Chains A and B, each alone.
Chain A
């Protein structure tokens, strides 16, 4: 810092104050609603009031009888699981082909695979519905998984390509020159080094699928209803306190998964 040290640097102070205040408001704004939601879900009364009159697990216990909610949650978990498995396998393979590859075709593939993040997902969901309808199929879990892979695979690609581009090619050359085959090199050198990026991508893909509405809205029907759609309908029609309890569960579940991802894969380092 070259500012004269003996006098106070008002400009530096004012900048820190303004930016600090804006950031503090923003952080409060980001975290507050989730906390309020979590506290409200422990209310003993019939209405969603904050602050709650007391703390009780009444509505969490009520979830044990909520069959539809449980079925929807199970569908969501199944779809998110398969979406993650396929996204990781297909995404890692594609990332290996794209990373450090400067050919026009590889660039084009990169743009194509990332485009679901920019296109309105709802329009894609509707297009997928028309498509499977024209082919003579009805919406089902496999099609739902296919639709989810398209919108979730960009997360795996992004973190995996980033991890691959930080990989020192000399390590691969060393493995080859020591007689390691391609499969061996991938398994013993590449995979361990990109594992954190891959794990972070898998986590993001899982959460994106579990949370997806625009695609599920068109590709899920009554039998294959998923949790976000069920919750959305519940909130639109009757504000049931059980919805708050499910939301509370989702928040806790997300927090635990995030802490795990941070511990195992250094999630926050991958997001930078």
Chain B
């Protein structure tokens, strides 16, 4: 019966070929052209010979890594507690977790400007308790960007981990206790390894969302902290250099996909962990 339903995939497949695959091919083709008509790798050479450009790529990939780690450190405990809560509390917790992800990113980032600004709450508190004499510069700094990215993308980390944790057989943890392992040891040797597929899935989603988070990066990072999305935007719209912007886009996509593929490979390995 399923084979009869396969043609139902066609309309969406057609749309994706026409408006997703085709544009990406055109992007790739454009990136391989310059003023001359012939095919050339000049745009790529220009990117990798310019320190300014490749340091932006590096900064962006690292920014994603740091924000993902912060999400993991805070997100795992939420998922862990959520998985243990009663059904009612679980709904409340999930509701609180997805509330921010559904509130517009612009709005959430804007909220942080109110908090982090020179007259923001954090500075008022810091000045009030005498922690600092001058207002701290939290906006337009990398720690600020990481903090806000972590808040904005945290739900993407929590939900996949929660999915795996709720499916875990509680008998495994009990067995670990019976055999004399304490709570920490059980977490470290049983629960954590078994939930790795969820952790990896969460990391992949969080990472790809963090590196491409244009709004948060530009509003919190300001004009001085430049990451790849802003770089593409400036080259495309500001400098109107489409072939070079296309090349940056291709490099960015390949770099992000490489990190995602690496994580996915780790994920596949972690799935066999429990069965060994």
A interface with B by C-beta (< 8 Å): 1-3, 9, 11-12, 14-15, 18-20, 22-23, 25-27, 29-31, 33-34, 36-37, 40, 47-50, 90-91, 93-94, 96-98, 100-101, 103, 105-106, 109, 112-113, 116-124, 126-131, 134, 146-147, 149-150, 153, 172, 182, 204, 207, 210-211, 213-214, 217-218, 228, 231-232, 235-236, 239, 243-244, 247, 250-251, 254-255, 258, 262, 267-269, 271-272
Which of B107, B154, B212, B237 meets A30, CB within 8 Å?
B154
Q: Do residues B95 and A268 form an inter-chain contact, with CB atoms below 8 A? A: yes
B96 within 8 A of partner (CB): yes
Once the chains bind, are B183 and A9 in contact (CB under 8 Å)? yes
Chain B interface, >50% SS class:
helix
Closest residue on chain B to residue A51 by CB atoms: B121
Contact in complex: A126, B246 (CB < 8 Å): yes
Instruction: Contact check, A150 vs B15: say whether CB atoms are below 8 A apart.
Output: yes
Could you write out 14 A-B pairs with CB less than 8 Å apart? A9-B183, A22-B77, A30-B99, A40-B114, A90-B12, A119-B208, A123-B232, A130-B242, A134-B26, A149-B19, A172-B1, A235-B110, A254-B103, A269-B91
A103-B6 contact in complex given A213-B105, A235-B106, C-beta closer than 8 Å: yes
Q: Taking the complex as formed, is B149 at the interface, i.e. its CB lies under 8 A from any CB of chain A?
A: no
The answer to whether A94 touches B13, judged by C-beta atoms less than 8 angstroms apart, is: yes
Beta-carbon contacts under 8 Å, B5-26 to A: 5-13, 15-16, 19-24, 26
B45 within 8 A of A: no
Q: A26-B77, A130-B27 are known contacts. Are A258 and B99 too (CB-CB below 8 A)?
A: yes
Shortest CB-to-CB span from A255 to chain B, Å, is 7
**Pair A272/B236 contact, Cβ less than 8 Å:** no
Q: How far is the CB of A39 from chain B (nearest CB, A)?
A: 10
- Whether A123 lies near B106 (C-beta < 8 A) is no
Say whether B192 faces chain A, with CB atoms less than 8 Å apart. no
In the complex, which residues of chain B have a beta carbon less than 8 angstroms from the beta carbon of A106? 6, 9
B residues at A contact (CB < 8 Å): 1-13, 15-16, 19-24, 26-27, 30, 73-75, 77-78, 80-81, 90-91, 93-100, 102-115, 117, 119-121, 150-151, 154-155, 159, 162-163, 166, 174, 177-178, 182-184, 187, 204-205, 208, 211-212, 214-215, 218-219, 228-229, 232-233, 236-237, 242, 245-246, 249-250, 252-253, 256-257, 260
* Residue from the set B95, B117, B177, B215 with the largest chain A CB neighbour count within 10 Å: B215
Q: Secondary structure of the A side of the interface?
A: helix
A268 to B163, CA, bound (A): 12
Interface pair B12/A91, CB less than 8 Å apart: yes
- Min CB distance B225 to A, Å, is 14
Known: A37-B110, A211-B104, A272-B159. A30 touches B9 (CB 8 A): no
The interface residues of chain A lying within 8 Å CB-to-CB of B228 are: 120
Chain B residues near A90 (CB-CB < 8 A) = 11-12, 15
Candidates B20, B81, B91, B214; contact of A217 at CB < 8 Å = B214
Kindly provide the distance from the CB of A254 to the nearest chain B CB, expressed in whole angstroms.
5
In the complex, chain A residues whose CB is within 8 Å of the CB of B233: 122, 217
Q: How far is the CB of B158 from chain A (nearest CB, A)?
A: 8
B242 to chain A: which residues have CB within 8 Å? 130
Q: Which residues of B lie under 8 Å from residue A31 when comparing CB positions?
A: 96, 99-100
Evaluate whether A37 and B9 lie within 8 angstroms (CB atoms) in the complex, with A124-B23, A127-B24 already known: no
Known contacts A127-B24, A127-B26; is-contact A50 B114 (Cβ 8 Å) = yes
